[in-house]
Amino acid sequence: MSAYSRQQKEKKIMEAAIKLFGEKGMHHTTMDEVAKLARISKGLTYFYFKSKEELYLAITKKGFEELKEVFQHTFQSGREEVGFDNMNALVKNFLAFAEEKKVLHEAMVEFLGLVSKYNDPEKRKKIPEPLLKSNYFKKLLNLQYDIPSIGVSIISKGIRDGSIRPELQPETTFYLIWTMLLGYERLKGSIDYEPKGLKIHEEVWNNAFMKFLFELLKGTQNLHKFQPFQGKLF
């Protein structure tokens, strides 16, 4: 079998899995269903992916690779802009990615939680052995750092060109922003639900979030220059 033919079959299996995981969730999807939707035999499906968990890791890897491309494109296309503008674009592009590629984003977030267990010798014992031995898992341990490295480069650029506060530490600042973005994306559904006991409007929340981010990068002395976003960010 040629490398191209193998890649095409793997692509079909992953596309089918992403569709089913998005509709039913990973735990309620079977490899039989994935194989049927991909129109590939169950045996061949297991030939490419030894288990549903390994298939999920392959999807996770796809997520990190696609988000890395988003980050790289944002940085490269904004070479003539200051670092703050690059970071502003990066935030919008990240949120758009999380909204449009929900399964990939969810897989990435779940993997980051898995890494937390992996770093603890006792908790690591509870991670299924097939996952630990998977080549995808090993690749992901390194791939997870490619995305923040781009974000750190953008913040460093902003500090050098004066568009971002000079006292900020690039690595810490990017991880703080990433933490904020993950929480923002997680809470969006709760805000949309509009519980009766909590009065918060989505547009006000969006603007407050961006204002806080602006203050973090620019400082309070520049807040008067902040222009609230009109309407939704998505």
* Segment 164-203, tens digit of pLDDT: 999 999 999 999 999 999 988 888 777 666 655 666 777 7
Rounded to whole angstroms, the Cα distance separating 216 from 140 reads 30
pLDDT band at 221 (very low <50, low <70, confident <90, very high): low
Domain at 1-49: CATH code: 1.10.10.60
Residue 224 pLDDT more than 80?
A: no
Task: Scan for tokens 């547009």, then name that residue.
Answer: 203
Which letter does DSSP use for residue 218 in this model? H
**83-103 tens-digit pLDDT:** 999 999 999 999 999 999 999
In angstroms, how far is CA 110 from the centroid of its own chain?
10
User: Closest Cα partner for 156 from 146, 147, 164?
Assistant: 164
Task: Scan for tokens 């969810």, then name that residue.
Answer: 106
Angle, CA of 223, 226 and 227, to the nearest 5°: 160
CB contact at 8 A, 14 and 55: yes
Q: Within 13 Å of residue 183, how many CA atoms lie on the same side as its CB?
A: 8
- Specify the CATH architecture of the domain 50-225: Orthogonal Bundle (1.10)
Where do the CATH 1.10.357.10 domains begin and end in the chain? 50-225
pLDDT (0 to 100) of residue 10? 94
Return mean pLDDT, the chain: 87
Residues 6+ apart with CB under 8 A from 79: none
Q: Is 21 exposed, middle or buried (0-12, 13-18, 19+ CB in 10 A)?
A: buried
pLDDT band at 213 (very low <50, low <70, confident <90, very high): confident
Residue 232 pLDDT more than 60?
A: no
Rounded to whole angstroms, the Cα distance separating 170 from 180 reads 15
CB contact at 8 A, 63 and 104: yes
pLDDT (0 to 100) of residue 94? 95
**133-167 tens-digit pLDDT:** 899 999 999 998 999 999 999 999 999 999 999 99
Where do the CATH 1.10.10.60 domains begin and end in the chain? 1-49
**108-128 tens-digit pLDDT:** 999 999 999 999 999 999 988
